[in-house]
Structure 1
Amino acid sequence: MTGRAAEPEVIWARPERAGRGPKPAYSRNDIAAAAVRIADADGIDAVSMRRVAGELGCGTMSLYNYVPRKEDLYELMVDAVSAEYDLSAPSGDWRADLLDVARQARALMHRHPWMPRLMSPVYGFSPNALRYLEHCMACLEPVDLPAGTKMELIASLTGVVTFYVANEIASAERTRSLPWSEEQEQGMRIAYLVSRISTGEYPHLAAAFAESTGPVDLEAAFERALGRALDGFVTD
């Protein structure tokens, strides 16, 4: 007779340590902090139950008493860094408040470059994630929109930040791996682009580049992206 599959259960619904026995030697906060240290230093792919157990000084199998699955470990990590938000009381200016949260999110993801890979609705209902969502909904209280649309707005804004930061991180990593300077790389690519545009095969691109006033201001582009995400739901 085959055994029954384990019942699905979120990590937050479980006691700090499964089963009976002595007082737990480690808290979830201890485990999350160890995993975050590893990911910050060596990337998310370096995070394993064995590596975290080694960081804590316990056996790998012992760690499973606290964290049954690796996905649970990831959820603990996302929740731990989500505690870094400064979620002060809303000012009443919903747009300014949400822009502040978005800028904090960008800074948080740069402090923890593995975060964009773990950004998922699956991990969206941990204690600190709920605190974040509650704050964003409070910021949107002055806006006359259905609650569901407000949740979509928050998700859209988070998506813009995550996508933007993921590209920034990937670009920085690629730059570090170049066998020559970033300026040389850009010069090479611009020269190739100009050679292709000059063929006359891309008139629309040629017109667009002709209007270019110089290098893109990435900070300004980020702010415009945030503003457009908000404008897609509410126009002042």
Structure 2
Amino acid sequence: MSRDGGPGAAGVDPEQLWLRATGPRRGRRPSFSREAITAAAVALADAEGLDAVTMRRVAAEVGAGVMSLYSYAPDKETLLELMVDHVGGELPATPAVTGDWRADLKAMAHHQRALMLRHPWLPAALTTHRTPGPRTLAFLEHALAALRPTGLDGAARLEVFAQLTAFVAGHVGHEIAQAAAARSPDRRAAEARYLAAVAADGRHPELAEALSAPGRPLTPEATFSRFLDRLVDGLATD
């Protein structure tokens, strides 16, 4: 598979990526850095989506030859790992742990949602991202400390954090899609007519009852908070 293609068979070696030297050791010092390459890739993804992020485009953004980038990111999968950790640095690394793990967990989820809305490509990227980099580790460390009052062991706390992140990513992905659909009033009107017809056909009484229930606040923030409350409350161990 090409270097601008999807994941290779071997995947990304996190030890090589995060713990070893990050650039050429010999020859003339380059006029760019791994940080600059990653920032350029993030800017491209923010503006045009992940499909726009190719090694050739990123090289053009930093004013480098495409082959010279491979010393820093040998393929797009590696570049994606760098991008995820780069934006992870926007998360608060050391907010106070209150001792109320439910409140702390909800606060973390709201931070994650805000990050993903700033970088709409991130939910999709997280479906293949596997190893936390140095910036992401700070937030993970805080999450594990916040979950200590649950009494769960370390492995279970890691699972809870993974579950929370997956929920936020899935919800934000849906939220972004819904926002795009809302920009098409004809489609929304057609969906409303369809659901009204289904509710009236007599064959779907449960759905009809659900659709006739009193409405709840439908702002994106209110909807996210409502779903998050259900998730976190379902994690209670007492």
TM-score by length of 1: 0.86
Q: Separation in 2 of the partners of 1:7 and 1:92?
A: 38
Q: Residue 103 in 1 paired to residue 107 in 2?
A: no
Which string of whole-angstrom CA distances, capped at 9 and with x for unpartnered residues, describes residues 109-161 of structure 1? 11110001111464432111211211101111222111111111111111111
Q: Percent identity of the aligned residues?
A: 44
- Count residues in correspondence: 227
1:9 aligned partner: 13
Gaps spanning 5+ residues in structure 1: where? none
Alpha carbons 2:199, 2:211 under 8 Å: kept:
no
Q: Residue 62 in 1 paired to residue 68 in 2?
A: yes
1:116 aligned partner: 123
1:25 aligned partner: 31
1:225 aligned partner: 227
2:81 aligned partner: 75
Tell me the CA shift for residue 8 of structure 1: 6.6
Residue identity opposite 1:9 in structure 2: D
Q: Separation in 2 of the partners of 1:13 and 1:222?
A: 37
1:228–1:235: structure 2 CA closer, same or farther, 3 Å change rule?
A: farther
Q: Separation in 2 of the partners of 1:8 and 1:147?
A: 25
2:54 aligned partner: 48
Residue identity opposite 1:170 in structure 2: A
Which string of whole-angstrom CA distances, capped at 9 and with x for unpartnered residues, describes residues 85-132 of structure 1? 123232222222221111011111111100011114644321112112
List structure 1 segments (4+ residues) > 6 angstroms apart after TM superposition: 5-8
Q: Separation in 2 of the partners of 1:214 and 1:57?
A: 51
1:213 aligned partner: 215
Alpha carbons 1:49, 1:63 under 8 Å: kept:
yes
Could you tell me which of 79, 90, 103 is aligned with 1:84?
90
Comparing 198-207 with 185-194, which one deviates more in the overlay?
A: 185-194
Q: Separation in 2 of the partners of 1:38 and 1:139?
A: 34
Q: Separation in 2 of the partners of 1:122 and 1:73?
A: 11
Alpha carbons 2:104, 2:146 under 8 Å: kept:
yes
Could you tell me which of 118, 140, 144 is aligned with 2:147?
140
Paired residue secondary structure (1:142): helix
1:166 aligned partner: 173
Q: Separation in 2 of the partners of 1:103 and 1:96?
A: 11
Residue identity opposite 1:158 in structure 2: T
Gaps spanning 5+ residues in structure 2: where? 1-8
Q: Residue 185 in 1 paired to residue 191 in 2?
A: no
Q: Residue 128 in 1 paired to residue 135 in 2?
A: yes
Alpha carbons 1:32, 1:76 under 8 Å: kept:
yes
TM-score by length of 2: 0.86
Q: What is the RMSD computed on CA atoms of the aligned residues?
A: 2.3
Which string of whole-angstrom CA distances, capped at 9 and with x for unpartnered residues, describes residues 50-69 of structure 1? 00000000100011122111
Paired residue secondary structure (1:113): coil
Comparing 10-19 with 70-79, which one deviates more in the overlay?
A: 10-19
Alpha carbons 2:42, 2:83 under 8 Å: kept:
yes
Q: Separation in 1 of the partners of 2:216 and 2:226?
A: 17
